[in-house]
Amino acid sequence: MIRTLAVTAALALSATAAAAQPAPPNFPGQAEFRDLYKELIETNTTVSAGSCTTAAQEMAARLKAAGYADGDLQLLIPPNRPKDGNLIAVLHGADPKAKAILLLAHIDVVEAKREDWERDPFKLVEEKGYFYARGASDDKAMAASFTDAMIRYKKEGFKPRRDIKLALTCGEETPDTFNGAHWLMTTHRSDMEAAFALNEGAGGRLQGDARVYLGIQAGEKVYQDYTLEVTNPGGHSSRPIRDNAIYHLAGGLSKIGLYDFPAHLNEATRLHFERMSPILGGQMGADMKAALAQPTPAAAVTSIARDPGYNSMMRTTCVATMVNAGHALNALPQRATANVNCRILPGEAPEAVMAQLAKVMDDPAIHIKLAGEKSPVSPPPSLSPNMPERP
């Protein structure tokens, strides 16, 4: 989820603060699922050294073995990007007029350096009921569950009313390089068309081992990077002056670090707080209830915002993620740059966020520009009309 678009709002669907459940006994097909999940995890799909095409081929082979016809499986490899393959599969429904359900999961993963990991990131390790590996959650758990479900449906002879489509996509974590879901929507739109899609994002919460809630995502923040740059004539470090590229940049970044964008509770966030307040109870529950008042009380927002997850649900956030400055140990820096990564609330524009960052830094020496592709403005979530109709 490192580069995944963040969740804005989740609706508490089913929430019981149940005591920790013991590990379930083996269920039919568990070993087969485990085998599929392991294969997907242990197929490196990073953009640098991996191959989504290999992973897509592996999943296609499993679907074919389960009985899918060749015509219902499409391995789609973009021209000039042989390792960024995607897979679309379809289980035909009984009603040709009913629009499909799309199961959408990405199979690429974020880079993982062996030296940064306690365990090999490309080996599936299970310890005390938890899986450890790159992509174990994001998003290969979902991709494996969807593929496994498609295999089970076929084997059981299940005939849904609607078509059920599966799209395993590449490039979700590196959309500035290649965005598989976007490419499929551009080049194979009819194969992706659906009444609604199930995708990663909302997640759930545990308290200790107790299950608190499972969310449904109704809206989404957008991802945007900004480059900050300061240049300077430089000079010898034995004769320093105060006008220093690193100091300008550090000063600006420190101000961003202390700044909070205004909190804005949209329809989905408000419903989330309303439903979660009695489930969570305690101070957080009380704060969520208080936050529903109009206008939103600042004290409640401040208190809720101590939780980084809830803070990011209420406001646009920006954070410095990389810096690069100077060119020699004994020279005054001629250039200092930084990346600031923002997750922008629905309804807010990337240009407006950039203008606000410039205002917060208040230093004309720091030049700021959009990095990578400009994100679109995410539509504000509106709950009732967009929730899927009942099957």
Residue 348 sits in the site that holds Zn ion (CB under 5 A): no
At its nearest, how many Å lie between Zn ion and the CB of residue 185?
17
Measured distance CA(382)–CA(134) in Å, rounded: 34
Residue 45 sits in the site that holds Zn ion (CB under 5 A): no
At its nearest, how many Å lie between Zn ion and the CB of residue 138?
4
At its nearest, how many Å lie between Zn ion and the CB of residue 171?
11
Binding mask 114-133 for Zn ion (x = CB under 5 A): --------------------
At its nearest, how many Å lie between Zn ion and the CB of residue 234?
42
At its nearest, how many Å lie between Zn ion and the CB of residue 256?
26
What is the Cβ-side half-sphere exposure of residue 149, based on CA atoms within 13 angstroms? 17
Three-state secondary structure along 11-60?
A: EEEECCCCCCCCCCCCCCCHHHHHHHHHHHHCCCCCCCCCCHHHHHHHHH
Nearer to Zn ion, 4 or 378 (CB): 4
Tokens of 390: 């009942």
Q: 65 Cβ partners below 8 Å, 6+ apart? A: none
- Closest of 80, 90, 86 to residue 54, by C-alpha: 86
Cβ atoms of 277 and 288 closer than 8 Å: yes
Nearer to Zn ion, 160 or 372 (CB): 372
Residue selected from 4, 46, 169, 199 as contacting Zn ion according to rule CB under 5 A: 4
Residue 138 sits in the site that holds Zn ion (CB under 5 A): yes
Three-state secondary structure along 256-311?
A: HHHCCCCCCCCHHHHHHHHHHHHHHCHHHHHHHHHHCCCCCCHHHHHHHCCCHHHH
Residue 72 sits in the site that holds Zn ion (CB under 5 A): no
Nearer to Zn ion, 11 or 109 (CB): 109
Q: Find tokens 């020279």 and name the residue.
A: 331
Which residues are paired to 91 by β-bridges? 164
Residue 179 sits in the site that holds Zn ion (CB under 5 A): no
Phi/psi for 223 (5° steps) reads -95, 135
Nearer to Zn ion, 2 or 49 (CB): 2
How far is C-alpha 199 from the chain's CA centre? 10
Residue selected from 72, 139, 163, 191 as contacting Zn ion according to rule CB under 5 A: 139
Residue 163 sits in the site that holds Zn ion (CB under 5 A): no
**Concatenated DSSP letters of 67-99:** T--GGGEEEE--TT-TT--EEEEEE--S-TTSP
At its nearest, how many Å lie between Zn ion and the CB of residue 56?
16
Of 19-27, 198-206, 227-235, 377-385, the segment contacting Zn ion by CB under 5 A is 198-206
Count of residues that interact with Zn ion, criterion CB under 5 A: 5
How far is C-alpha 152 from the chain's CA centre? 27
Of 97-105, 126-134, 199-207, 212-220, the segment contacting Zn ion by CB under 5 A is 199-207
Residue 108 sits in the site that holds Zn ion (CB under 5 A): no
Of 8-16, 135-143, 155-163, 205-213, the segment contacting Zn ion by CB under 5 A is 135-143
Of 2-10, 43-51, 120-128, 235-243, the segment contacting Zn ion by CB under 5 A is 2-10
Binding site for Zn ion (CB under 5 A): 1, 4, 138-139, 200
